[in-house]
């Protein structure tokens, strides 16, 4: 675990954590709704806000440090003791869409991709996120979406709290800016990041509802199993809104996407 913490993403994670708690501290020290609640002895809002920020940080490190679905061994092998000639006689529907990665030399299951940043192949690869310095894949995608949801709640609440500490200047703009400059910075940071997280959350909810990954959505013409499906935007893995969301959030196992693809192909034909 320590090796993961102190690898190349250490500065990114440290910066994210320091910025999060720095903004939280500013909101408590300035004359915001949090400070007013503390002075009145009403601790419910400060405690809930602090717990929400803590939860967002914990989810950030969970998504950042967990295995996104790295492929460690070949995914399809013949029967024990089978020769190359015998393996070549296996049904082509089982293996024809698998290919060997040109970097790590492992067989990739369908929907997997090699990440140049992580130097590993990832199951159901979505994208490599520089924000968490980790890939988003089959095992941590749902946690990534949950993190975005909690982070959006914390950011929008912090944005509202920062605005509550601003008042119309009474003695001129110069003194007012000196007194509220840090709080204005918090308004700008939380406002910008709220919009970014909102867009990301909306995009990933849409992709989850259609059982599509960011890589597949952006690179469909270059992906063989989607290119051979047809020229349209039809997705062979789409099982309908409710089933897609159920599979995304509730199915916690490795999925044989080649079999799903074969069943969809039979129904499609």
Q: What pLDDT does 136 receive?
A: 96
Q: What pLDDT does 94 receive?
A: 41
Each residue's pLDDT tens digit, 201-221: 999 999 999 999 999 999 988
Using 70 as the pLDDT threshold, list the residues of the chain that sit under it: 1-8, 75-98, 169-171, 230-232, 268-269
Each residue's pLDDT tens digit, 6-54: 556 788 899 999 999 999 999 999 888 998 998 888 889 999 999 999 9
Q: What is the DSSP string of the chain?
A: -HHHHTSTTHHHHHHHHHHHHHHHHHHHHSSSHHHHHHHHT--HHHHHHHHHHHHHHHHHHHHHHS---B--S-S---STT--HHHHHTS-HHHHTT-EE-TTT--EEPTT-EEETTTTEEETT--EEETTTTEEE-TTTHHHHHHHHHHHHHHHHHHHHHHHHT----SS-HHHHHHHHHHHHHHHHHHHHHHHHHHHHHHHHHHHHHHT--HHHHH-GGG-HHHHTT-SSS--TT---HHHHHHHHHH--S---HHHHHHHHHHHH-
pTM: 0.85
Q: What pLDDT does 86 receive?
A: 38
Active site residue 129: yes
Catalytic one among 129, 135, 250, 252? 129
Q: What pLDDT does 268 receive?
A: 65
Q: What pLDDT does 225 receive?
A: 86
Q: What pLDDT does 216 receive?
A: 93
Q: What pLDDT does 78 receive?
A: 42
């Amino acid at each position: 675990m320590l090796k993961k913490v102190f690898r190349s993403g250490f500065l990114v994670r440290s910066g994210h954590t320091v910025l999060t708690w720095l903004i939280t501290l500013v909101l408590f020290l300035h004359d915001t709704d949090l400070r007013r609640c503390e002075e009145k002895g009403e601790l419910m809002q400060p405690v809930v806000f602090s717990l929400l920020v803590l939860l967002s940080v914990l989810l950030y490190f969970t998504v950042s440090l967990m295995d996104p679905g790295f492929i460690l061994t070949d995914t399809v092998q013949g029967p024990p003791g089978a020769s190359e000639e015998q393996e070549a006689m296996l049904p082509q529907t089982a293996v024809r869409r698998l290919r060997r990665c040109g970097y790590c030399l492992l067989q990739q299951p369908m929907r997997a991709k090699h990440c140049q940043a992580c130097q590993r192949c990832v199951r159901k690869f979505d994208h490599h996120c520089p924000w968490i310095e980790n890939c988003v894949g089959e095992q941590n995608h749902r946690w990534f979406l949950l993190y975005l949801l909690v982070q959006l709640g914390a950011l929008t609440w912090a944005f509202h709290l920062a605005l509550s500490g601003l008042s119309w200047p009474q003695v001129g703009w110069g003194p007012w800016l000196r007194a509220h400059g840090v709080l204005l910075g918090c308004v700008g940071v939380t406002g910008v990041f709220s919009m970014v997280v909102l867009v990301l959350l909306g995009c990933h909810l849409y992709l989850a509802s259609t059982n599509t990954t960011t890589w597949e959505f952006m690179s469909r013409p270059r992906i063989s199993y989607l290119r051979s499906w047809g020229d349209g935007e039809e997705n062979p893995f789409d099982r309908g809104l409710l089933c897609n969301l159920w599979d995304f959030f509730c199915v916690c196992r490795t999925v044989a996407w080649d079999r799903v693809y074969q069943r969809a192909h039979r129904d499609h034909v």
